[in-house]
Structure 1
Amino acid sequence: MPRSRRVASPRSPRRLARDRHGRGMRSAVTGPHLEPLSTRLEDFDATVAGTASYLRGLWPELEGVVFEVAQAPAEAIHVDHIDRWKVAHDERRITFHRLPIVRFLRLQEGEERDEKLLIESCVFRAVAEFLDKDPWELAPGRYRHL
Structure 2
Amino acid sequence: MSRAKRRDRHGRGLRGPLAPPEIPISLTRSEKFDDLVRDEVQRIVAPWTEELAGVEFAVEDVPEVPADETRVPLSALRHVDGNPRVIIYRRPVEARSTGTPEKTDRELSRLIHDLVVDELAGLLNLPPETIDPED
TM-score, structure 1 normalization: 0.66
**C-alpha deviation, 1:35, in angstroms:** 5.2
What is the alpha-carbon distance in structure 2 between the residues aligned to residue 103 and residue 56 of structure 1? 26
| Alignment partner of 2:108 out of 112, 115, 124 | 115
TM-score, structure 2 normalization: 0.70
Contact 2:34/2:59 (8 A) holds in 1: yes
Whether 1:91 aligns to 2:72 is no
**C-alpha deviation, 1:69, in angstroms:** 0.6
Contact 2:20/2:26 (8 A) holds in 1: no
Contact 1:72/1:99 (8 A) holds in 2: yes
**C-alpha deviation, 1:45, in angstroms:** 0.7
Whether 1:132 aligns to 2:121 is no
4+ residue runs over 3 A deviation: 75-78
Q: Which has the higher helix share?
A: 2
Contact 2:54/2:83 (8 A) holds in 1: no
Percent identity (aligned): 24
Distance change >3 Å, CA 119–CA 77, structure 1 → 2: farther
Match of 1:47 in 2: 36
SS in 1 for 2:70: coil
**Mind listing any 5+ residue stretches in structure 2 that lack a counterpart?**
5-14
**Mind listing any 5+ residue stretches in structure 1 that lack a counterpart?**
1-20
